Structure 1
Amino acid sequence: MIQRFFILCSGADTNILKDCSKGEQNKYAGIGATVFFTAIMAFIASSYALYTVFDNIYTSIFFGLIWGLLIFNLDRFIVSTIKKRDSFKSELLQASPRILLAVIIAVVISKPLEMKIFEKEINQVLLEQKNELTLANKDQIALQYDPTIANLNQEISNLKTEINTKEAETNALYDTYISEAEGTAGTKLLGKGPVYKEKREKHDAALLELGQLKETNAQKIAGIETQIANLNLEYANTVKDSQPIIDGFDGLMARINALGELAWFPSFFIFLLFLAIETSPIIAKLLAPKGEYDLKLEEEESVLKTWVTQKVEQRKLLLSTDGELNEKVYSDIKSEEELYMYKKKKAEELLKLQANRFHDIQVKSL
């Protein structure tokens, strides 16, 4: 039963093959087994590749099954259409388009399995790329907020500088009136005279202004710091919202590109392995000598071709003979007087009917 199933997979004519030797049947069963297991590998590979796209196992298995059946049908068609000829060159020429198609199928099958085999290495490459994207994303988002935050920090710095300047002026006035009281500067008179009072009043006024300035600027600084805190929070939320996009950067195209970042040597040999599997039925048919099945198939094709050619020639001969007979019959009829008189009579009747009909139409139109 298994042998019959694999023979069915090979695309061979079971009616012809059942009358062949066991060795011939085993050969085509082996070819069919290769076609079948290649389709199984295609199903597994496509299911994994589609799982990286859909993230749904049932959808991936469904479309993977369709892809596996498609590959199975293609391989079966390729193998079944290669026929043994008397010349190896003609066989190779016949098989060359099929070999090219087999190479394409091998590439399609091998790539998803390569991604699965090198999954850990690909994940490492993707992790590095995600880290780079995260840093680049933060820098890119920061460009939207940094200028505004820098301007706000500069405003805070200006307000603090204004306070420090006013405080320095107040301290200078304090030193001035103290020096005046001590007699070490100004009038050089010891004691609290009129000049001392004047300078003391200036200091007290400046001290009052300093207090008001500190209070006003402190409110401004608090408001600006609130704006900066809000901007930092908005920046953090923007980074947080965009991070899932980066975390999801592990789709099919990303994994294929990551696979390209790895050493090509192992991937190349995996591709060669699948290429050998995919082309093995074709190569086996090309290298195998013409067997019993091929001879019987060629005989049936020859019988069919001869029968069709015979039918075509018979139809041509029948058409030619019928034409000659018709020509002779009508030639004999042409010379008969009775037929002439009969057709003349009918023509006269027809002309009379036409004349009467034309007369009736003219009368009605008047």
Structure 2
Amino acid sequence: MKRSNKYIIGWGIPLVLLLIAIWTVRNYPSAGEWYAGKVYPVIASVLSAVSSWVPFSLGDLSVVFITLGTLIYIVYAIYRRYPFGRTLLKVVIFLGYVYVWFYLAWGLNYFRKDFYSRTEIPYMKYDSAVFKSFLDDYVKGLNDSYVVVEYIDTALVQQEVKAGYNRIASEFGMIDPRKVYEAKPMLSSALMSKTGVLGYMEPFFAEFCINEDLLPVQYPQTYAHELSHRLSISSEAEANLYAYLVCTASDVPAIKFSGYFSLFPYVMVNAAMALPEEEYKAILKKVNPEIIELYKQKQAYWDARYSKLIGEVQHKVYNFFLKGNNIKSGTANYSEVVGLLISYQNARK
């Protein structure tokens, strides 16, 4: 048997079996819960133990190597005039294992039970009175928590956020936050700023990465948001919810305000859609003018770094990716945090 045939059979058959296992889990939320509780913590602990030895994102670097390696092999195969069919099959097998690596290392968290099923918190349908009461409480909390944040102690943020997750992790089906290594800087924060990405979960080596261009007021919430992904949460709305709960429960003023401030655009977008224009304007007028100005400054800061072309491509790709991974609303999922928060607060009452 030819060497290339042995390669295809030897690597192809295990790949097919692994793909069948992954596709099975994708179709059964209870299997997704089993993965998140039993398999993911073990795999993640091994991968993060390996990546913890380097100060940069090993996962980001692996993506670069995978992309370049694939392209170089294709060019080499064309140069050597290898049979097209076998070359294509080898590339497919290699990328198939990358696909398997992504889902086994973290990606199967997308196929867990949804928030309401997992927490047994009843879904709260829209109620005008409840929503207006929520808005009043939120704006009061936002105004009361306002502080000027010119510097952020990242070590203190990490300590406070982990302590916060330690209190709520079991309630929301997250893994133990005490065994998680710290966040890493992105391989290219400048490039990510052009897309508007503040942070992300890097699954290949169980790392969560933070954009180094973050404003001090954004750091606590972004750190808390990305840490929730590392703790097995895939939904962006849930990640926003947990970051809000953890940050606003902190006794550190800068962290508390970061939690309230991060929710501001989502709350206002929901208010603009749900309320008559005059009522929406009345709510907006209640917000501290310094907070409105801070929000405008934040927008200007990121607009100056944003590339419309790169940003739109990233948005479309990520929207397509989320919809293909059980997040039916795509990137709109971020703003669904308000519905989760109202349902959670109603259940607590």
TM-score after normalising by structure 1:
0.19
TM-score after normalising by structure 2:
0.20
Larger Rg over CA atoms: 1
